[in-house]
Structure 1
Amino acid sequence: MSKLQINLHRNLRRTVLRGHPWIYKDAVVPVKAKIAQICQVMDGKNEFLAWAYFDPHSPLCLRILSLDKKPPTFETYEARFQTAFEIRKSVIDPQTNSYRLFNGEGDLLPGLICDIYNDIAVLQFDGQGANEFWNKQQIADWIIQNGICKTVVEKLRRQTQGGILKLAGEDCENEVIATEHGVKFMVNLEKGQKTGFFLDQRENRNYIQSVSRDKSVLNLFSYSGGFSVYAGLGGARKVASLDVAEGAIELAERNWQLNGLDPAKHTGLCVDVFEYLNSATEVWDHIIVDPPSMGHSEEHKERAKVKYIELFATVAKKVRAGGQLSVSSCSSHISFEDFFEIINESLSQSKRRGRILRVSGQGPDHPFPHSCHELRYLKFVHLILN
């Protein structure tokens, strides 16, 4: 069967050869293909440039698979699976059984995500194109055959039916206990956000443990209480977890107890964070703000920056004199440069000044291509305020 050929009408040869993994629809000569499939990418001179998979459902219509002249095969991907697993060995130890195994373009596996929770692998596909292109069963079988997990499930997108679907291995429950740095979290695979938990914040959570002794800590948009539990284990004198989702607060309470922490030192509140901030008068030693993404596209970037500024400025006013503020963003459309601008404007509006103690992002199990900083999406900044 002949492979689809896609021609470019913009000169992107240098960009692609430098390793950028994406080509958008406006650079491509239109084709009639209706489903995602492998294709040859040809430059404006009709010379071979790369192999990619074509996604007719997205403005990001080409995701680069290989620069080799021969088309990639499943054996090509198997070698990349193995390389990805070797990289994760720096993360896996007796204290950490949960990590990201495949991180899409960062592992030369565009659109393919796989998170490991103890002995369960959770696959997720970035959009309809990735869902059509990747052979789920072959991937699941490879994971089982290589002894990485006992079960492989797919986390279905909420735009469809949601939930999980077993692909290979043993039957499993919807909940699993994940461990990182010896800290335990109950993860709901079916109802949890993303694949169930935010593994990308693992090293930042661990850092919070080191700076929490004897502090009052407020965790906003807490989800299942990741930062809260680490603060408690770090010796915080009191911790509050706030989230609008009742299920998230219930899970935060369970995770607090799962780690043997004193229930009297933790408060879980199911509230709208914005409404809380507008009415609350209490000040805190340390406030952690990790909101859901506010910028889902480049088109909405400026609006998102305004929202972040308003939120962070309001929060900064609730930090006591000499207290600390940790802010984070998972929006790929907000760069680190944008994020520092947001912090500067937030502190200016709140009439506070800060010194930065830590700047970080996602952990080493979330690699990204050197030429695609959009995939360095997670930003985390810890400040001490005047």
Structure 2
Amino acid sequence: MSYPKIHLYPRKEESLLRFHPWVFSGAIASITDGKPQDGDLVEVLDARGSTLGIGHYAAGSIAVRMLSFGRSEQIGRDFFRDRLRAALELRASMGLIRPEGGPATPNTVYRLIHGEGDSLPGLIIDIYGDTAVMQAHSMGMHHSRELIAEALMETYSEAPGLTPPLQSVYYKSETTLPTRDMRELAEDGFLIGHTEASYVWENGLKFIPDWLKGQKTGFFIDQRDNRSLLALYADGRRVLNAFCYTGGFSVYALASGAERVDSLDSSGKAMYLTEQHVALNFGADCPRHHSITQDAFDYLEQMPEGAYDLIILDPPAFAKHRKVLRNALIGYRRINSQAFRKIAPGGIVFTFSCSQAVSKEEFRLAVFTAAASSGRRVRILHQLTQPVDHPINIYHPEGEYLKGLVLYVE
């Protein structure tokens, strides 16, 4: 099949030869054989006319997101099915897929496709039991949504002993496509089948994803391993889960024997979801859990010293882009400084940044500055990142967005 051709300037092919999946607009010398629109497939060539691969075109800074390298090939149902099958096999080989009623602790929620990390830039697919939630971050993936949904159902039907049967595919991209005009074209809803939200298992604990109105695809899957690590430290401690959202860390802390867990969020809806998850796992009236609806910065500033032995700081992204980086770093310094000042001696702080615009080094410097200003002795116990079902393409380090530290405060 013939695609419009993107010709690069000399030496601009070097990043593609190292399999970086983006072509920036400044690298493009000319476009021939058609005028591609947002989301169209294009063939990328070096200055000598050699094919470098196929990708989705976009009129923006990132002009092409590469789907394949080295040769021209048809991007159709078979292509997507092969990528989906490879992603599923990776998750299965890591022991992530554990159905209810099996010999192991059940886990039925995981990310199947993580964009560039699974060689499908612009595409996210999360699995919640028998429902797949698909999210497009590019017009190319938006245009391919029905083809991908069909390939997805076929992929799971070919692995009946590996996973529970997939019943439906829900499309959720009204807020994730790059521009307002594109977002107006998207319509959330089921592409295949129809399922009602019910609880799923994460490491033997129950959660209810809200793919209709919730953030991301309905649940923060990327903190699964870090929630498991928290369980090793929470036994017997007084825990504050700031920016709790749906209460994932709170549920893990309660399950591991925390003396008390206070869940804090400024959103009444978040507190409702947290209380729903606590009730689902520990009954409607769990005496060790308390909900606090208040701004986290204000609460930390006002709370007495020594009130908690373990504090979790998992705020929403303070910086969506580099233009607001300075304000984001001020926010990280401020919230961590308060936690260091107020936590009981021998306390543990789990602190995170999910802002892709903030590098590991910048986040660590912000936390270092907060520790220094608190006057407390602070040691790093763990350096955290995203889990195995959010893989990072080694040729695309920009895919590492989740950063975290576990700190011991003397």
Describe the superposition over 1:354-377 as per-residue Cα deviations: whole angstroms up to 9, x where unpaired. 111111211111112102111011
Q: Which residue of 2 aligns with 1:194?
A: 216
Give, in whole Å, the separation in 2 of the partners of 1:163 and 1:207.
Answer: 38
Q: Tell me the secondary structure at the aligned position of residue 63 of structure 1.
A: strand
Give, in whole Å, the separation in 1 of the partners of 2:330 and 2:226.
Answer: 25
Give, in whole Å, the separation in 2 of the partners of 1:115 and 1:284.
Answer: 34
Give, in whole Å, the separation in 1 of the partners of 2:375 and 2:74.
Answer: 56
Q: Which residue of 1 aligns with 2:103?
A: none
Q: Which residue of 2 aligns with 1:119?
A: 130
Describe the superposition over 1:110-133 as per-residue Cα deviations: whole angstroms up to 9, x where unpaired. 11110001111000011445323x
Which one is further off, 224-233 or 33-42? 33-42
- Check if 1:155 corresponds to 2:172: yes
Shift of 1:213: 0.6
- What's the TM-score, normalizing by structure 1? 0.93
1:360 to 371, 384, 391: 384
> Residues 170-209 of structure 1: matches in 2 within 5 Å?
171-173=194-196, 175-209=197-231
Q: What is the count of residue pairs matched by the alignment?
A: 381
Give, in whole Å, the separation in 2 of the partners of 1:80 and 1:221.
Answer: 35
Residue 163 and residue 3 in structure 1: after superposition, are their counterparts in 2 closer, same or farther (change >3 A)? closer
Give unmatched runs, 5+ long, in structure 2. 100-105, 158-164
Give, in whole Å, the separation in 2 of the partners of 1:163 and 1:34.
Answer: 20
The runs of 4+ residues in structure 1 deviating greater than 6 Å are none
Q: Does the 8 A contact of 2:317 with 2:353 survive in 1?
A: yes
Cα RMSD after superposing both structures: 1.9
Q: Which residue of 2 aligns with 1:258?
A: 280
Counterpart of 1:306, as a letter, is: I
Give, in whole Å, the separation in 1 of the partners of 2:271 and 2:215.
Answer: 13
Report the identity percentage.
Answer: 34
- What's the TM-score, normalizing by structure 2? 0.88
Shift of 1:21: 1.1
Q: Tell me the secondary structure at the aligned position of residue 209 of structure 2.
A: strand
Give, in whole Å, the separation in 1 of the partners of 2:207 and 2:10.
Answer: 48
Q: Does the 8 A contact of 1:66 with 1:72 survive in 2?
A: no
Residue 144 and residue 78 in structure 1: after superposition, are their counterparts in 2 closer, same or farther (change >3 A)? closer
Q: Does the 8 A contact of 1:176 with 1:189 survive in 2?
A: no
Residue 129 and residue 244 in structure 1: after superposition, are their counterparts in 2 closer, same or farther (change >3 A)? farther
Q: Does the 8 A contact of 1:355 with 1:385 survive in 2?
A: yes
Q: Tell me the secondary structure at the aligned position of residue 40 of structure 1.
A: strand
Q: Tell me the secondary structure at the aligned position of residue 310 of structure 1.
A: helix
Shift of 1:99: 0.3
Q: Which residue of 2 aligns with 1:351?
A: 375
1:280 to 283, 286, 303: 303
Q: Which residue of 1 aligns with 2:97?
A: 92
Describe the superposition over 1:49-106 as per-residue Cα deviations: whole angstroms up to 9, x where unpaired. 22211112x3222111111322242222211110000001121113100100111111
Q: Which residue of 1 aligns with 2:351?
A: 327
Give unmatched runs, 5+ long, in structure 1. none
Q: Which residue of 2 aligns with 1:109?
A: 120
